[in-house]
A and B are shown apart, each in its own frame.
Chain A
């Protein structure tokens, strides 16, 4: 089975930076995904890491360390619309995704 841990909630101020950590223990590893989910909506794909290092995509960056079983999602220049749940998901050796419970980020003015 998979064990994926991420903080339940985080609060930050508009314009600030927030880092969401994700640790995982899996049987096999074929990549790590981050999804954004606004309340009452479907998850949408944000980023994908399969090799160690930092992937940057505009205001969002994602980092992976396979040896530590660790990833983070960095949100820069926070905007009110970034208030959402952020889901860490790990793909196992059979290419199935396991999701963490999600981190709810609240951006305050």
Chain B
């Protein structure tokens, strides 16, 4: 099925370890996004990329990094995980930045 694929589906990680969340889309969308969703806070933008080769910081970028080497892939890296990064992470894409965003199924990450 075409769309956005996120991996892993869920992960338990020890604090201090590094982790890369993968996101791949096959819709040839130019823009991609990473959000975290926490109870009572809604979705918050971590990083975004309006086109391959460019990235930008969202509302909560600290502790996270991204890269956009090509159109399809937009990995999110936690260099040294902390318990406050326990969350559900959603990757999204849109054809252009001014178009509706389509979301992946999410990665549930627990940092212990």
Q: Which of B42, B45, B90 contacts A42 (CB 8 A)?
A: B90
Within A5-62, which residues are at the interface with B (CB < 8 Å)? Answer: 30-31, 33, 41-45, 48
Q: How would you classify the secondary structure of chain B's contact residues: helix, strand, loop or mixed?
A: loop
Q: How many A-B residue pairs have CB under 8 A?
A: 44
From A41, A89, A91, A96, contact of B58 by CB (8 A): A96
Contacting B97 at CB < 8 Å: which of A45, A48, A95, A98? A95
B interface residues with partner A (beta carbon < 8 Å):
33, 35, 40-45, 48, 50, 58-59, 90, 97-98, 100-106
Contacts of B40 in A (CB 8 A): 101
Query: Which B-chain residue is minimally distant from A33 (CB atoms)?
Result: B100
Query: Which of chain A's residues has its CB closest to B108's CB?
Result: A40
A84 cross-chain contacts in B, Cβ below 8 A: none
Check A87 against B105 for contact (C-beta < 8 Å). no
Task: Say whether A97 faces chain B, with CB atoms less than 8 Å apart.
Answer: yes
Q: Which residues of A contact B42 (CB under 8 A)?
A: 87, 99-102
- Give chain B residues whose Cβ lies under 8 Å from the Cβ of A96: 45, 48, 58
Given the known A-B contacts A42-B103, A44-B103, are A99 and B43 also in contact in the complex, defined by CB atoms under 8 Å? yes
Interface pair B44/A45, CB less than 8 Å apart = no
B43 touches A87 (CB 8 A): yes
Q: Select from chain A the residue with minimum beta-carbon distance to B44.
A: A99
Nearest CB in chain B to that of A42: its residue: B103
Residue of B nearest to A46 (CB): B100
> B43, A42: Cβ atoms under 8 Å?
no
CB nearest neighbor in A for B33: A97
Q: Judging by beta carbons under 8 Å apart, are A43 and B45 in contact?
A: no
Q: How far is the CB of A57 from chain B (nearest CB, A)?
A: 12
